[in-house]
Amino acid sequence: MFREQRPGKITPAPAPHVPTVVELPHGKLNAYENAKKQVSKIAGILKLTENETKLLVTPRRIITINFPVKLDSGRIKLFQGYRVQHNDSRGPFKGGIRFHPQVDLDEVKALAFWMSMKCAVAGIPYGGGKGGVIVDPKQLSKDELEALSRGYIREIAPFIGPDKDVPAPDVYTDSQIMSWMLDEYETIVNHHAPGVITGKPLDLGGSKVRDYATAMGGAICLRELMKALKLKPGKVAIQGFGNAGSFMAKILHSWKHKIVAVSDSKGGIVNERGLDPAEVLQHKERTGSVVGFRGARKVSNEDVLALPVDVLVPAALENQITHTVAHTVNAKIVVELANGPTTPDADEILRRRGIHLIPDILANSGGVSTSYFEWAQNLQGYYWTEADVLGKLDPLMVSAFNDVFNASKQHRVDMRTGAFVVAAQKILKAERLRGRLKQ
Ligand code: NAD
């Protein structure tokens, strides 16, 4: 659960992420097709060759596994899983493992591609990867979940390692699952190797700040954009009051913004005079929802996205700002803490309406950047204080923000395209230096 450590400092709550499949008005677009479209846009801007374009979008290695898990009944069931290793030109592959009934290979390929892009934008020495198992974890007992986690790691153990590929939590996987996976890997290699996986509990080599790092990274990007646009802290609406959204509310509140609306899956609440996020969180912990918080009026989730505010923060699910919603957004800035909250056509509408958007691969990259800090601490065997981590996260995010902001100015494109341009340039440079592409 969330709790304050001291004013403005906040603690743990590993949370499941949500799948990233983009829907277009003419139907469901396969996530990997969407990734390919993003690459072809960049290819046009940077005048990339066919080889460069292909290299950016094609995974280096795809591992498909089918592995047995003994259920509590004694029956043995075969599960299918994947690990997609997209690009490792800048460092080991990096990306989460999701347990979800709808995991499919194209989605894992797209997510692995986006991880390569995100790590390059953040400027951390990682490539991108992603893993998944087709399973409904809610149907498994704790023992079965442990057996599944260990079974998955046994199959991919030859392909992962602190210098090869570093998994992490994602949808329906958490720090307990990372602990079992770490233990299985260390049993196989017969030595300690905490850097093989991130998102671990603090007691097994996790990092301070990781729990609120995603929100902190987004808040730092917002601070920098407001500085560039000469805007002062203003009114904020946040969709989603889970890990990312609630920490974002606390951080921005402590930075003198006025949080006028928040929402969760049960609906939204508004108070134009401002909400105290810590009190809203207490209410949510007591009642299961932000709805019903005293002094605030209830609104629908769509209403929250259309409120007249300075900053809108989607921090819930993918595909929330659709073509229709984009016309109603009444904010100066959108900060995408969620993965893929804006559909590609909505993106274009926001751009035409002059709304500034800090894209997910930049806005939520504070999370993977702090995973990088966790890995760096594991490799050194020396652990940092909360102030140490924050002191490194802030300049890292500022530098990533500046790279993206400057690229979007230079190429006269929106910040999402600017972010992909930055990432593609860094990855292609590393590929050229390695001799995998012509200089
Ligand atoms: P979470 O499960 O902790 O929180 C999700 C919140 O969204 C919950 O409050 C839920 O009630 C709410 N929600 C669900 N449907 C909603 C709806 N229709 N309208 C409004 N609210 C709704 O998840 P999280 O970890 O906070 O992740 C949120 C998003 O941020 C995801 O897209 C995730 O991929 C992304 N993200 C999170 C991290 C991280 O470190 N937590 C890192 C990178 C990206």
Q: What is the pLDDT of residues 35-55, one digit of tens each?
A: 998 999 999 999 999 999 999
* CA-wise closest residue to 172 among 188, 152, 156: 152
pLDDT in tens, 115-125: 999 999 999 99
For 387-397, give one letter per residue: b (16+ CB within 10 A) or e: eebbebbeebb
- CA of 51 from ligand 1 middle (Å) equals 37
Percent of the chain with pLDDT over 70: 93
**Given the structure tokens 């006028």, which residue do they identify?**
260
| Ligand 1 centroid from CA 12, angstroms | 15
Overall average pLDDT of the 392-409 stretch = 98
Ligand 1 atom closest to residue 268's alpha carbon, by position in its atom list:
20
What is the number of the ligand 1 atom nearest to the C-alpha of 170? 34
252-292, pLDDT tens digit by residue?
A: 999 999 999 999 999 999 999 999 999 999 999 999 999 99
CA of 21 to the centre of ligand 1 (A): 15
**Over the stretch 293-306, which tens digit does the pLDDT of each residue have?**
999 999 999 999 99
Q: pLDDT confidence of 356, banded at 50, 70, 90?
A: very high
Report which of 4, 7, 12, 2 is spatially closest to residue 209, judged by C-alpha positions. Answer: 12
Task: Give yes or no for residue 4 having a pLDDT over 70.
Answer: no
Is pLDDT at 27 greater than 60 in this prediction? no
If pLDDT is split at 50, 70 and 90, which confidence band does 29 have? low
Which of 113, 112, 176, 184 lies closest to 153, judged by CA? 184
User: Are residues 248 and 277 in contact, defined by beta-carbon separation less than 8 angstroms?
Assistant: no
Ligand 1 atom closest to 364 (CA): 43
CATH number of 1-58+211-365+398-439: 3.40.50.720
Residue among 265, 291, 293 to mutate when testing ligand 1 (max atoms within 8 A of CB): 265
Q: Which residue is closest in CA terms to ligand 1's atom 14?
A: 265
Q: What is the mean pLDDT of residues 59-64?
A: 98
Site residues for ligand 1, CB cut-off 6 Å? 15-18, 214, 239-245, 263-265, 301, 315-317, 337-339, 364, 367
Active site residue 130: yes
Ligand 1 atom nearest residue 210's Cα? 40
CA 268 to chain centre: 23
In single-letter form, the type of residue at position 69 comes to V
Tell me the CA–centroid distance for residue 399 and ligand 1, in Å: 26
pLDDT of residue 5: 34
pLDDT score recorded for residue 318:
83
Kindly report the average pLDDT of the chain as a whole number: 93
Q: Write out pLDDT tens, residues 359-390.
A: 999 999 999 999 999 999 999 999 999 999 99
Q: Are strands 93-100 and 128-134 parallel, antiparallel or unpaired?
A: parallel
Residue with the nearest Cα to atom 27 of ligand 1? 17
Q: HEC profile for the chain?
A: CCCEEECCEECCCCCCCCCCCCEECCEECCHHHHHHHHHHHHHHHHCCCHHHHHHHHCCCEEEEEEEEEECCCCCEEEEEEEEEEEECCCCCEEEEEEEECCCCHHHHHHHHHHHHHHHHHHCCCCCEEEEEEECCHHHCCHHHHHHHHHHHHHHHHHHCECCCEEEEECCCCCHHHHHHHHHHHHHHHCCCCHHHCCCCCHHHCCCCCHHHHHHHHHHHHHHHHHHHCCCCCCEEEEECCCHHHHHHHHHHHHCCCEEEEEEECCEEEECCCCCCHHHHHHHHHHHCCCCCCCCCEEECHHHHHHCCCCEEEECCCCCCECHHHHHHCCCCEEECCCCCCECHHHHHHHHHCCCEEECHHHHCCHHHHHHHHHHHHHHHCCCCCHHHHHHHHHHHHHHHHHHHHHHHHHCCCCHHHHHHHHHHHHHHHHHHHCCCCCC
Q: Whose CA is nearest to atom 20 of ligand 1?
A: 264
Cα 16 to ligand 1 centroid, rounded to whole Å: 8
Distance between CA 233 and CA 222 in Å, rounded?
Answer: 10
Report pLDDT digits (tens) over 170-192.
988 999 999 999 999 999 999 99
Active-site position among 36, 130, 200, 235: 130
- Cα 104 to ligand 1 centroid, rounded to whole Å: 21
Q: What is the mean pLDDT of residues 216-223?
A: 98
Are residues 216 and 366 in contact, defined by beta-carbon separation less than 8 angstroms?
yes
What does the domain layout of the chain look like in residue ranges? 1-58+211-365+398-439, 59-208
pLDDT, position 139? 97
Position 16 scores a pLDDT of 41
Q: Do domains 1-58+211-365+398-439 and 59-208 have the same CATH topology?
A: yes
Neighbours of 147 (CB within 10 A): 20
For the cut 90, the answer to whether the pLDDT of residue 31 exceeds it is no
Ligand 1 pocket test, candidate residues 1, 172, 264, 298, most atoms within 8 A of CB: 264
Task: Report the separation in Å between the CA atom of 425 and the middle of ligand 1, taken as the mean of its atom positions.
Answer: 30
Q: Is the pLDDT of residue 25 over 80?
A: no
State which ligand 1 atom lies nearest to the alpha carbon of 214. 40
* This prediction's pTM: 0.92
- The best mutation among 97, 172, 243, 362 to test binding of ligand 1, ranked by most ligand atoms within 8 Å of the C-beta, falls on 243
pLDDT at 19: 41
CATH number of 59-208: 3.40.50.10860
Q: Where is pLDDT greater, at 419 or 439?
A: 419
The answer to whether 40 touches 53, Cβ cutoff 8 Å, is yes
The residue contributing the CA closest to ligand 1 atom 35 is 338
Contact 89, 116 (CB under 8 A): no
Q: Single out the residue of 198, 290, 285 nearest to residue 238, CA to CA.
A: 290
